[in-house]
Amino acid sequence: MTTGSRREILAGLGAGMVLTGLAARAATAPTRKIGYAIVGLGSYATRQIMPNFAGCDHARLVALVSGTPAKLDQYGADYGIPKTHRYSYAQFDRIRDNPDIDVVYVVLPNSLHAEYSIRAAQAGKHVMCEKPMAVSVAECQAMIAACKKAGTKLMIGYRSRFEPYNRLAIDLARSAHVGPTQIITADHGFPIRPDQWRLDRPLSGGGSMMDIGIYSLNAARYLTGEEPVAVSAVESTDKSDPRFRTVEDKINFLLRFPSGIVANCVSSYSSSHNGYRVSGTQGWIDMEPATSYSGQMMTIRKDGVTAPRTLPATGKTQFAGQLDHMAECIISGATPIVAGEEGLADLRIIEAIYRSAAEGRGVRIGA
């Protein structure tokens, strides 16, 4: 991002363009940037998402919601958000009256996703929600229903779908570049530090699976383009570790897909993993790191030859790509490629993974 482009955005924010009604917005010329309110000013929102509006073509940051007045002051000042566009949680529903806000981006702890997404929809706003979409299938369904009823769009923050190497991996895997896919291995994990909301089940809804493990699961789904029909999972948690009093540490799982592909997935809060490999009949496509904020590395082995595969550097980050995609969908009327149904599909499988691990049996999904 250049200083120039950032200045331009900030100048744009000051212009205070006001439009009323979704239909009017959809009909707006593409030069009109879609306004986002960020709900929850944790490190992911402030360090990863917010700086990336500067690289967006169609999205801009217009409002902030936080329970911490100092954060509202700090980030409000940093991003030129006027005090009229800064909200406490008690004031959240007033977003309804702010026409600058087109999208509410929920970056709260998992168990608050459903509530704030639904309230955003009820306020007439489009909803972007971080993954996992919610802590249960029932909540996901309620979110989808609320957005449908309100006529607003719902998108889940699966940023890897806007990352060039992951897009290439999807294309290569689904086009059988190394032959029809047979096996996918997808491993994600990190040694979690104590004292995080992610380790508090009432906020997180679960352990590694509800955090880093969803990358393994979602990758298996997007690399195949299929929905698994069965899952077998094994959990391993040291309950004497004070970090894991209420949530699981390691939970690994096998997914069987209709075409016969099997995915072996790792989810861990005790070790570092960030990679996947698509193995076909003629070779494999390896990504490591695969779903990091940046620095993806792809290696392809085909017909006995192993070589790195590099893409030209692109101007837009996965974060900006994600923010722009929702904006473009709002402008064009299209459905996001990672709509609420995508988040629901993951949660359906996550519930099956937990059930499989708890009951020590394979669980069939769907049908």
Provide the binding-site residues for a second copy, judged by CB under 8 A. Answer: 179, 182-183, 185, 187, 189, 191, 230, 232-234, 236-238, 250, 252-256, 260-262, 264-266, 268, 270-273, 279-284, 301, 356, 360-362
Q: Is the peptide bond before 289 cis (omega within 30 degrees of 0)?
A: yes
Is residue 235 within 8 Å of 250, Cβ to Cβ? yes
> With respect to a second copy, which residue has the nearer C-beta, 62 or 254?
254
Q: Is 20 strand, coil or helix?
A: coil
Which of 131, 222, 269, 276 is an active site residue?
A: 131
- Parallel, antiparallel or unpaired: strands 298-302 and 273-280: unpaired
> With respect to a second copy, which residue has the nearer C-beta, 112 or 261?
261
Helix 137-150 with 340-359: angle, nearest 10 deg:
170
- Would you state the torsion angle of the CA atoms of residues 167, 314, 76, 129, taken in this order, to the nearest 10 degrees? -10
75 as an active site residue: the answer is no
- The vertex-302 CA angle with 297 and 306, nearest 5°, equals 50
Is residue 134 within 8 Å of 206, Cβ to Cβ? no
Residue 306 to residue 74: CA distance in whole angstroms: 49
Residue 101 to residue 20: CA distance in whole angstroms: 10
Place of tokens 């406490």: 88
> With respect to a second copy, which residue has the nearer C-beta, 58 or 177?
177
Which of 75, 79, 165, 215 is an active site residue?
A: 215
DSSP for residue 74: H
215 as an active site residue: the answer is yes
List, by residue number, the catalytic residues: 131, 215
